A = this chain, B = another copy of it.
Amino acid sequence: MRRVSDVGEFGLIDRIARLAGRGDGREVPVGIGDDAAVLRLRRGEEVVVTTDAFVEGVHFRFDHETPATAGRRAGVGCLSDLAAMGSRPLGLLLALAVPPRLPLAVALGFVRGLLREARRAGIPLVGGNVTRAREVSASLTALGASARGRALRRDAGRAGDRLFVTGVLGRAGLERARGRVRHVGTARIDAGRALARLRSVGACIDVSDGLVADLGHLCRASGLAARLDVERLPRPRGFEAACRREGLGAERLLLAGGEDYELLFSVRPRGPGARELTRRLGLPVREIGALQAGPPRVWGVPAGAPGWRHF
């Protein structure tokens, strides 16, 4: 079995560069292979940038999922932050740390999974870094573009805004609780961009830490409280039965599961409702509560419910 140490730092970089291919020279004048990458914006756009770390034993385990699945999850996690800003993705950078004894196929499998999600978002890998380490980790940086002043933010909520969420919640948490991860969420890039064009949208965040935690971030940034209608939370078909079979609390997974990568956002009182938003975003949207005046706090969640946190 070939190991990373058999090809060395530059051998690994060459292989990653070959898998990545070349981006569009007009949008990426300088890609992999220089001291930095150069990316081109359109007129009137701002740069949007986010960085995310993905550590073996913390965010993924190779005995729970294939390297490609881990790589896909890393990619989706980072791209989801661009989706939450309503941004047009431009490019991805990967800082990969691997033990020298890691099988080369594992490292490249991870990169292939990551590249699959980058391609799905229509963007190239434009740069990165490879280093030796004791454990596998990947730090991803995603770059995007937003029309000036139009990026979605966590702090733009107002009292009276209704709260909506895309898709369904709880599926990723259920898989993780089962100890076998095959499903990978979707970065809601197109939905985020559609939201950024709607003037009646308030705050937006992606559901990565879990619904209550992320709603808490949104509340704190906006200086508001929120009321959640737990019974209205959208869940996968057969979710309660599956949870019962596994001895898991369905409500806990809905509220605190994490990694759903759906968009949680607020809309002004006169803005569109769930039906119209579903049409505009091209995927199911459900109204699940509202923002209200008061110190940051999520109401409607059982006190002491798992995942609930004071802030």
Listed in ascending order, the chain A residues whose CB lies under 8 Å from chain B are 10, 29-30, 33-41, 46-53, 55, 57-59, 81-82, 84-85, 87, 90-91, 93-95, 97, 126-129, 131-135, 137, 139, 141-144, 146, 148-149, 151, 153-155, 205-206, 221, 311
Give every chain B residue within 8 A of A48 (Cβ-Cβ). Answer: 36-38
- Please name 20 further chain A to chain B contacts, defined as beta carbons within 8 Å, in addition to the given A29-B149, A34-B154, A51-B51, sorted by A numbering: A29-B46, A29-B151, A30-B85, A30-B151, A34-B85, A35-B85, A36-B48, A36-B85, A36-B144, A38-B46, A40-B46, A40-B47, A49-B91, A49-B93, A51-B95, A52-B95, A53-B139, A57-B134, A58-B133, A137-B137
Oligomeric state, in number of copies?
Answer: 2
Q: List 28 A-B contacts (CB under 8 A).
A: A10-B311, A29-B151, A34-B153, A34-B155, A35-B81, A35-B84, A35-B206, A36-B50, A37-B48, A37-B49, A38-B47, A38-B146, A39-B47, A40-B47, A41-B46, A47-B47, A49-B49, A49-B93, A50-B127, A51-B128, A51-B141, A52-B95, A53-B95, A53-B97, A55-B97, A133-B137, A134-B134, A141-B141
Give every chain B residue within 8 A of A40 (Cβ-Cβ). Answer: 46-47, 148
Give CA–CA (A50, B29) in the complex, Å.
14
Give CA–CA (A48, B30) in the complex, Å.
9
Say whether chain A's binding surface is mostly helix, strand, loop, or mixed. strand
User: Which 5 pairs, one residue from A and one from B, show the smallest C-beta to C-beta distance?
Assistant: A139-B139, A36-B50, A35-B84, A35-B81, A53-B95
